[in-house]
Amino acid sequence: MAKKLHIKTYGCQMNVYDSERIAEVLSPLGFEAVDDADGADMVILNTCHIREKAAEKVYSELGRLRVQKETLASQGKRMVLAVTGCVAQAEGEEVLKRAPFVDMVFGPQTYHRLPQMVAEATRATGQVLDTDFPEESKFDALPDNRTVDGATAFLAIQEGCDKFCTYCVVPYTRGAEYSRPAAQVLDEARKLVVAGAQEITFLGQNVNSYHGEAADGGEWNLARLIRAAAEIEGLERIRFTTSYPAEVDDDLIQAHGDVDKLMPYLHLPVQAGSDRVLKAMNRNHGVDEYRALVDKLRAARPDLALSSDFIVGFPGETDADFRATMKLIEDVTFIQAYSFKYSPRPGTPAALMDLQVDEAVKAERLAELQALLNAQTLAFNKQCVGKTMAVLLDRAGKKPGQLVGRSPYMQAVVVDAPEQLLNRIVDVTITSAGPNSLMGALNVDNRKACA
């Protein structure tokens, strides 16, 4: 009988990808993924350490799961409880100390060893802790069957970070930068397409620092990899995230200009709009360089839409610095953004810097910044009304008879459409726009196609 596996995923898209791969590693052991932790034989929390709140969520979830585990134990049943992801990597020992009822703690680079770990954890009373950065790459050991839920898929091509921005834990939780060989990536991309993917998003902590080994012994950069992936028949859309602005090269800019399958949407985190703050963050570029990069990208692809990440209240950020960030946002315009109050992280240089900003000031700045960013999102969405867009319909809508999909710019578009159009790319004319989604009507040709 199949054992039930529940994976709860926090944090970034890399964790979403890892969770899928973890399920694939455990499937030959008889584990079947389920949506609910209730009644599961194994529960895995795939965690995020990026801000304090993210890490604390894990401990409160563990508290809830402890009750469930104990109830099952009183009925003579066993639930294996595991923690992986960036909290596991950053503070594995601490997890076992604060939550001694956890059976396994493993980092993001060791989950290909799960079969052994599960055997160890179920055999005796012992807990398993595996947070090495092993010599071998997990990608060489993972099963090579891939499954796709719907028509879009993530594909990790690069992992780790050598940039050491002074606020960030990722270089410590994910380790040094590693690029997968190009042939391995393309092989996985083909498998995803066979499994139904029409859109693939290449993932990496610094995806544009990709420099994978090529079959001829040389190296491919991200642009070269995108061009090769664009040749795959059946793959219609390519995206990539997250890019590090200081390393966007001319090849990548050019690819935005001439690779049709590359979507005109780019996540390009800038964090702040003040040179002083960017320097203290160790971002390796100034404000003018960012503006110049955006200009070059838009010269190559005039309809390129940008999204970004922002941190407010970095240590030493003055009101003038914050104004400079607001000015940058006004000038560049972003159609989507993630913004956060600076959160001091243990072990990072910024946590020890003088002039930490008051929480109330951070909250005020964040509210003002988000109001501007939200207004830009809404303005962009409204501009789309009356236009026709290619939408990849990849899920059911809230109301019967509706499907929801993504525009080239990643907007959610809700359409009245028959079920046969699920997982198809259709032309939609946008009829109205809100802050979070667009409404659209199917173009006549699409309706004919499914009649």
Q: Footprint of ligand SF4 on this chain (CB under 6 A)?
A: 161, 163-165, 168, 170-171, 205-206, 244
Q: How far apart are CA 444 and CA 450, in angstroms?
A: 10
Taking the complex as a whole, the smallest distance from the CB of residue 31 to ligand SAH amounts, in Å, to 30
Q: How far apart are CA 239 and CA 202, in angstroms?
A: 6
Taking the complex as a whole, the smallest distance from the CB of residue 368 to ligand SAH amounts, in Å, to 17
Taking CB under 6 A as the rule, which mask of x and - marks residues 68-97 in contact with ligand F3S? -----------------xx-----------
Q: Is the dihedral of CA 110, 115, 120, 125 positive or negative?
A: positive
Our finding on whether 173 is near ligand F3S (CB under 6 A) is: yes
Member of 84, 342, 362, 389 binding ligand SAH (CB under 6 A):
342
Q: How far apart are CA 255 and CA 261, in angstroms?
A: 10
Stretch of residues binding ligand SAH (CB under 6 A), selected from 94-102, 163-171, 319-327, 372-380: 163-171
Residue type at 203 in one-letter notation: L
Q: Which helix (DSSP H) or strand (DSSP E) does residue 66 occupy?
A: helix 52-74
Q: How far apart are CA 147 and CA 305, in angstroms?
A: 30
Residue 171 interaction partner, one of ligand SAH, ligand F3S, ligand SF4, none, beta carbon < 5-8 Å per kind? ligand SF4
Q: How far apart are CA 173 and CA 34, in angstroms?
A: 27
Task: Count the residues of the shown chain that bind ligand SAH, applying the rule CB under 6 A.
Answer: 17
Taking the complex as a whole, the smallest distance from the CB of residue 113 to ligand F3S amounts, in Å, to 19
Q: How far apart are CA 418 and CA 435, in angstroms?
A: 25
3 state SS of 225: helix
- What separation, in Å, do the N-terminal and C-terminal C-alpha atoms of the chain show? 42
Residue 340 interaction partner, one of ligand SAH, ligand F3S, ligand SF4, none, beta carbon < 5-8 Å per kind? ligand SAH
Residue showing tokens 């503070």:
91
Residues of this chain, 302-341, that bind ligand SAH according to CB under 6 A: 309, 311, 340
Task: Count the residues of the shown chain that bind ligand F3S, applying the rule CB under 6 A.
Answer: 13
Whichever of 198 and 271 has its CB closer to ligand SF4, that residue is 271
Residues of this chain, 313-332, that bind ligand F3S according to CB under 6 A: none
Q: Which helix (DSSP H) or strand (DSSP E) does residue 121 occupy?
A: helix 114-123
Residues of this chain, 13-32, that bind ligand F3S according to CB under 6 A: 14-15
3 state SS of 24: helix
Whichever of 70 and 162 has its CB closer to ligand SAH, that residue is 162
Contact assessment for residue 430 and residue 404, using Cβ atoms and an 8 Å cutoff: no
Residue type at 361 in one-letter notation: V
Question: Peptide bond preceding 110: is omega within 30 degrees of 0, i.e. cis?
Answer: no
Residues of this chain, 202-231, that bind ligand SAH according to CB under 6 A: 205-206
Pairing mode of beta strands 128-130, 104-106: parallel
Whichever of 32 and 247 has its CB closer to ligand SAH, that residue is 247
Taking the complex as a whole, the smallest distance from the CB of residue 406 to ligand F3S amounts, in Å, to 21
Our finding on whether 156 is near ligand SAH (CB under 6 A) is: no
Residue 164 interaction partner, one of ligand SAH, ligand F3S, ligand SF4, none, beta carbon < 5-8 Å per kind? ligand SF4
Cα 49 → chain centroid: 14
Count of other CB atoms within 10 angstroms of residue 360: 9
Q: Supply φ then ψ for residue 308, to 5 degrees.
A: -155, 170
Taking the complex as a whole, the smallest distance from the CB of residue 157 to ligand SF4 amounts, in Å, to 15
Residues that bind ligand F3S (CB under 6 A): 11-12, 14-15, 48-50, 85-86, 169-170, 173-174
Residues that bind ligand SAH (CB under 6 A): 50-51, 167-168, 170, 205-206, 242, 244, 269, 271, 309, 311, 340, 342-343, 345
